[in-house]
C-alpha cells in the first residue's frame, strides 16, 4: 500500500489565475510541512498548552509513550527547557515485516520557554501522569494582585 497526496480534481476549464494560485499555495503548503517536520529543535515537537490563573502558570506537554525518566527539565536565566527522547518501539519477531504507514514520530526533542518575571522560580514543580507532563509555576506574591481599599476624606 502506498501513501499518496490527495489532489483536488479541477474542472476542464479553469482560469489561468486560479491555476497559478493553486500551484503556489500547494508549493507553499509543502514548504511549511517540511519546515515543521525538519525542525532544529529535534526530531519531533510535543504539543504544549500554557494556561494562567491568578496564582500560577501551568504548562502541559503531551509525551505519549514516554515516562518521567525520558524527560529532563532545566531552568536557567528564566528559560524553562524541556528535553527528552522518544525511542521507537521495535519488534525483533519478524525481520521481513514492512511498514505500510509510518506516521508516529520518534527521536529527541527540545522545547524552551521564556518565563515572565512574575514566576517564582524556586517554587516550580513538575509531575508526569499518563503521558502528560504538567509543570506548575507559581506567581510571585506581587504578581497575584490585591484589592486596594478606597477611603473617604473629610
Whole-number Å distance between alpha carbons of 85 and 106: 7
Q: What is the pLDDT of residues 56-94, one digit of tens each?
A: 999 999 999 899 999 999 999 999 999 999 888 766 666
CA distance to 75, 91, 115, 120, 136, per residue, from 78 (Å)? 6, 42, 5, 10, 15
CA 16 to chain centroid, in Å, comes to 39
Question: Does 124 score more than 90 pLDDT?
Answer: yes
Q: What pLDDT, on the 0 to 100 scale, is given for residue 35?
A: 43
Q: What mean pLDDT, rounded, does the chain reach?
A: 80
DSSP secondary structure letter of residue 117:
T
Amino acid at each position: 500500500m502506498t501513501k499518496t497526496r490527495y489532489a483536488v480534481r479541477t474542472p476542464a476549464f479553469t482560469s489561468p489565475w486560479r491555476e497559478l494560485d493553486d500551484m503556489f499555495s500547494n508549493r507553499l503548503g509543502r514548504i511549511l510541512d517540511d519546515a515543521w517536520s525538519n525542525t532544529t529543535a529535534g526530531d519531533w515537537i510535543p504539543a504544549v498548552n500554557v494556561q494562567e490563573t491568578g496564582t500560577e502558570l501551568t504548562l502541559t506537554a503531551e509525551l505519549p509513550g514516554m515516562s518521567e525518566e525520558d524527560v529532563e527539565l532545566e531552568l536557567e536565566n528564566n528559560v524553562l527547557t524541556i528535553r527528552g527522547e522518544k525511542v521507537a518501539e521495535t519488534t525483533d519477531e519478524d525481520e521481513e515485516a514492512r511498514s505500510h504507514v509510518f506516521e508516529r514520530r520518534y527521536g529527541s526533542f527540545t522545547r524552551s520557554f521564556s518565563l515572565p518575571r512574575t514566576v517564582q522560580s524556586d517554587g516550580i514543580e513538575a509531575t508526569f501522569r499518563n503521558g502528560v507532563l504538567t509543570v506548575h509555576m507559581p506567581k510571585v506574591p506581587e504578581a497575584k494582585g490585591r484589592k486596594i481599599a478606597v477611603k473617604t476624606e473629610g
